[in-house]
Chain A
Amino acid sequence: MSPRTYVPAGFLVFLLVLPHLLPNPFYVHIAVMMAVFAVLGGTWNIIGGYGGQLSLGHAAFFGTGAYVSTLLVNAYGISPWITLWLGGLAALLLSVPVGIICFRLQGPYFAIASIGLAEALRLLVLHFRDITNGAQGLTVPFKGNAPWLLQFDSKFPYYYLALVMAVGVVLIVRRMERSRLGHYLVAIGQNQDAAEALGINSSRAKAKALALSAFLTGVAGVFYAQYTYVIHPDSVFGLGLSIQIALVAIVGGVGTVLGPVLGAVIMEFFIQFTQIAFAGQYPGLELMVYGGLLVAVILWRPRGVIPWFARLYEGLVARLPAARGAQA
């Protein structure tokens, strides 16, 4: 067995046993959030990285998923296993008019329009208190350990669910990268005029990418609502979340399959541990860590940490011996 097989396989086993190795549920929580952000960074990457359309409003899709699901769960008692898909679908439907309107704009104008979208939704949710409960947010009714209602009394099932989602997104992005759509997005991200001259319908390609990205982001939003039991307009539609989603991909490496995964691990690690270390003594300190990380990445690793990490990995694989079993 070559190191190229057993190193990734070993890593996968590590991910599977990881929660059992962690000393307390808080660390499992960090692992869950890493997986959630790996999902979000990966889906953002479809339109933001490959397509080069800097979205700073992905919270719009996340929040839509979270709110639509929680409203349906509360009002009709629909199982979250079903609203998981309905939340994604709602985000996808939202992406259609958004794509038509916002993709008339390019570069910073699109970024600003995307911020406006998420902010508009946040304000609408605050305003229509009768339905959304305004600033107090919504709560998922606590049912204890109810797997059929996507509720568990341990964090382990959430971790495995998030892991499945993260691996799923990685596989979807990898498939997309190799498809015609993936190529077209890269062409558009590089030079939209040149792409159109080559017969590429940029509006359609971007709309498809946004729809896929929105759907997966919406699904992640539903998962988040189920995991945390409570959602607020600020926590699921906020600008901070949108920026965090984009940063995960940018720090990791835009337009790469594994970059956002790495970005999620690094960002969550720094943020959670700054919060632990200073335990609310200096509120907002984690935001400074954010800013610092971003500056460092842009200065020293403008393509994200993934190329550097890839070199490390290649070096490791080259040095490791082949496992005995395969020779036999």
Chain B
Amino acid sequence: MTASLMLEVDGLVKQFGGVQAVLDLSFHVREGEILGVIGPNGSGKTTTFNLITGVYRPDRGRVRFAGHDITGLPPYEVCARGICRTFQIAKPFRELTVLRNVIMGTLLRHPDPAAAEARGHEILQTVGLEGRARMVAGSLTTIDQRRLEVARALGTGPRLLLLDETMAGLNPTETEEAIRLIASLRNQGLTVVVVEHVMRAIMSLSDRIVVLDQGTKIAEGQPKEISSDPRVIQAYLGVEYRRA
């Protein structure tokens, strides 16, 4: 059983000044699954990503990836081990072309720039950005910047992909596309953790969902269980969702 655990988060605590951002948080991600993480603003979702990927060092608690303790490793090391994340606010290399942005990711596993470029083209095809390869990243629309964010992360050849609100602000068609893309990534063998506010997306994508509130886990289970859990409805979904 332990062998199939891709990520184990155990008792994470992170405090900023007097604010408890994450408070004794534990959850796990199984190999090959899509785990949804939801929760109101400020519930600690992004902080959790930052703790896993080494942007912050937890005050307490451990993070284990594929059986190895990775707590407190720097971000580049975490990425090299096989966890890559996207940022909620896209951080493209604005002055560089879309292709060059992706190459920055693919160089990790393909040290030869020519090989990295070839791999970059493949990945742009996967996310549907091939037509914009020569454009400057700063001139992309918000949606395409999100695509690029995912493309760069994919370029690093991760085993575990952490997506931070990739779908915020997308229209229904684009959301459908994004859902299809994420599902196809899982089918290629990736394990995915999705932080998302778009309920329809997270309910249809996730195998399991973890619900955060005020830095701690208040519920965990399959989408159906979550959407009918009274604590979740009160903390997050609102009364309206009960009718759906």
Chain A interfacial positions (CB closer than 8 Å to B): 178-180, 183-184, 186-187, 190-191, 193-202
Contact = CB atoms under 8 A, between A and B. Distances in A.
A197 B107 contact: no
A198 B96 contact: no
B108 A199 contact: yes
Interface in B18-62: 53, 55
Contacts of B104: 183-184, 187, 195, 198, 200
Given A178-B113, A184-B107, A197 B53 contact: yes
A190 B113 contact: no
Chain A interface, >50% SS class: helix
Contact of A180 (B79, B107, B155): B107
B93 A199 contact: no
Most buried by B among A184, A191, A200, A201: A200
A178 B103 CA distance: 12
A199 B92 CA distance: 15
A178 B94 CA distance: 19
B93 A179 contact: no
A183 B107 contact: yes
Closest 6 CB pairs of A and B: A199-B79, A190-B93, A194-B91, A199-B108, A196-B75, A187-B104
Contacts of B75: 193, 196-197
B95 interface: yes
Given A179-B113, A198-B156, A201-B76, A193 B107 contact: no
B80 interface: yes
Interface in B132-169: 152-153, 155-156
Contacts of A183: 100, 103-104, 107, 113, 116
B83 to A, nearest CB: 10
A180 B113 contact: yes
A198 B75 CA distance: 8
B105 interface: yes
Contacts of B79: 196-199
Nearest to B86: A197
A87 to B, nearest CB: 32
A198 B108 contact: yes
A202 B94 CA distance: 18
A184 B96 CA distance: 12
Interface string B71-103: 000111101100011010001111110001001
A201 B156 CA distance: 13
Most buried by A among B77, B93, B94, B152: B93
A202 B104 CA distance: 12
Most buried by B among A179, A187, A191, A195: A187
Contact of A197 (B87, B100, B103): B87
Contacts of B84: 197-199
A254 to B, nearest CB: 12
B111 interface: yes
A193 B91 CA distance: 9
Given A183-B107, A197-B84, A197-B85, 17 more contacts: A178-B113, A179-B113, A180-B112, A183-B100, A183-B103, A186-B93, A190-B93, A191-B91, A191-B93, A194-B87, A194-B91, A194-B152, A196-B75, A197-B55, A198-B84, A198-B156, A199-B105
Contacts of B103: 183
A193 B104 CA distance: 13
Given A183-B107, A199-B108, A190 B87 contact: no
A21 B85 CA distance: 60
A197 B84 CA distance: 7
A190 B156 contact: no
A42 B243 CA distance: 67
Contacts of B93: 186-187, 190-191, 194
B108 to A, nearest CB: 4
Contacts of A200: 76, 104, 108
A201 B116 CA distance: 17
Contacts of A199: 76, 79-80, 84, 105, 108, 156
